[in-house]
Amino acid sequence: MNGPYKIGTLARLTGFSPALLRAWEKRFGLISPQRGGGRQRVYGDDDLVVLRRVRTLVDEGRAIGEIAAQGRRRLLMDADRDPASLADAGSAHEGAGAFCQRVVDSALALDERQLGAALDEAFATLGADRAVSDVIIPAEVRIGELWEAGQCSVASEHMASSRFLHRLGGLLGSAQPGNGSAPRVLAACFPDEHHQLGLLIVGWHLARHGVRVEYLGAAMPLEDLADACRTARPRALLLSVMRRQLFNRHQRQLPRLLSGVADRVYIGGQGVPPTARTGKRIIFMHEPGAPDAVRRILADLRRA
């Protein structure tokens, strides 16, 4: 596809909202419109190349201020090269709470366009780490609280979850190591478990540290999971369970089905009771959050 492009087309090809593109044009000069035949603003192939480079850097955790400081010429020059090793995003930015509220409000209004625009701006402004930890996670919690209080519809909850999972799936895909010798793990949710957010976040952080994460998704039957492990031969298996009743329903099958399918099986999530006892291969994760779980798994993989 070749230019010129209208701003709506540019937005569709890059994943950034038209409002965000206009703001960047005015503030940073990253894109440079011309006038088409009808005097409307249109953009060229170089604008698309620049924005796709910006998309890559944003998804890898850079904030838009850092990216724009490189300048349009540098972004064009780097667009055809593999991205270099990137430093962490710079100093913290304000506004995570406002982005979170916009996400929640958009979900309640069933306005998917505005929800997507709020996430685009959060990632571009805060960087991926803070957008996930300070926007997506608290928004998911808040929407769940509103649903339990009868103030949020199932449709709104599903819309928000779908957007969150899509964004995190993209982050996981872009973070996967290209090294064929990277340690390999499989990640899945318990049978009948559909809450994937925490597992995807753990998988994303592991991938950023050089672990190849094969993500199998929600509601995996244990028998099929065991077969997948025998086929893929992963170093570790990650299982997530958020509901205690699901853990209780399936816990007796775990040793028989999962013992020996991987060096270690890690089971984490709110559904794991504090009394669950870790064995030699099956390890229950009682740590309070994703960073602790990631540190534990990485340490074990390095020792193995």
> Which ranges in the chain are annotated with CATH 1.10.1660.10?
7-78
For residue 176, the one-letter residue type is Q
**Residue 209: Cβ within 10 Å count:** 16
By the 8 A CB rule, do 61 and 89 touch? yes
> Which ranges in the chain are annotated with CATH 1.10.1240.10?
96-173
Domain 96-173 has CATH 1.10.1240.10: yes
Assessment of whether the complete model's pTM goes beyond 0.75: no
Domain 177-303 has CATH 3.40.50.280: yes
Please give the average pLDDT of every successive group of 10 residues along the chain, which has 304 residues: 76 80 88 76 86 83 85 81 36 68 96 92 83 92 93 96 93 85 93 93 91 94 90 92 91 80 86 83 74 84 79
Single out the residue of 59, 2, 58 nearest to residue 30, CA to CA.
58
CATH of 7-78, one of 3.30.70.20, 3.40.50.1370, 1.10.1370.40, 1.10.1660.10: 1.10.1660.10
Please give the Cα distance from 155 to 140 (Å, whole number).
Answer: 14
Parallel/antiparallel/unpaired status of strands 264-268 and 282-285: parallel
> Which ranges in the chain are annotated with CATH 3.40.50.280?
177-303
Parallel/antiparallel/unpaired status of strands 41-42 and 34-35: antiparallel
Q: What is the pLDDT of residue 88?
A: 32
Q: What is the pLDDT of residue 2?
A: 60
Q: What is the pLDDT of residue 295?
A: 85
Please give the Cα distance from 145 to 74 (Å, whole number).
Answer: 45
Single out the residue of 275, 262, 252 nearest to residue 216, CA to CA.
262
Please give the Cα distance from 242 to 23 (Å, whole number).
Answer: 40
Residue 184: in which H helix or E strand, if any? strand 184-189
Residues in the chain: 304
Please give the Cα distance from 179 to 109 (Å, whole number).
Answer: 44
Q: Which residues of 173-186 are buried (b: 16+ CB within 10 A; e: fewer)?
A: ebbbbeeeebbbbb
